[in-house]
Structure formats: C-alpha cells, structure tokens
Amino acid sequence: MAKLASDFLRDESGTTAIEYALIASCISIVILVAVTGIGSSVNGRFVAVGNGLK
C-alpha cells in the first residue's frame, strides 16, 4: 500500500496536460479581454459616425 501511494505521488504523466490546459485558458482569457476592449472602442466609433450622419 505504501509503494502504491509513493508511486502515485511520483507519477507526473498528467502534469503536462494540466500545464497545457492552464496555458490555453490564460491565452483564452487574454483574447477575451482584448476583443471586449476592441469591441467597445469600435462600437463607440460607429456611434460617433452614426450621430455625425444625422
């Protein structure tokens, strides 16, 4: 039983997959924040152009 527990604690086979998942989620968050900011800026410009055409 002790060997099984020590083998489990030393096993690093899933570590890489978890690291890639964390990196992918961080990149997704950065993209989401950037797109939201750009979208607000573009929306403001369209509103300004629309008001100028009235």
In our burial notation (b when 16+ CB lie closer than 10 A, e otherwise), range 11-47 reads: eeeeeeeeeeeeeeeeeeeeeeeeeeeeeeeeeeeee
Backbone angles phi, psi at 39, to 5 degrees: -60, -40
> Could you report the per-residue pLDDT of 2-48, keeping only the tens digit for each?
888 888 778 777 788 899 999 999 999 999 999 998 998 899 999 99
- pLDDT for 31: 97
What is the structure's pLDDT at 3? 84
Looking at residue 15, its pLDDT comes to 81
pLDDT of residue 13: 75
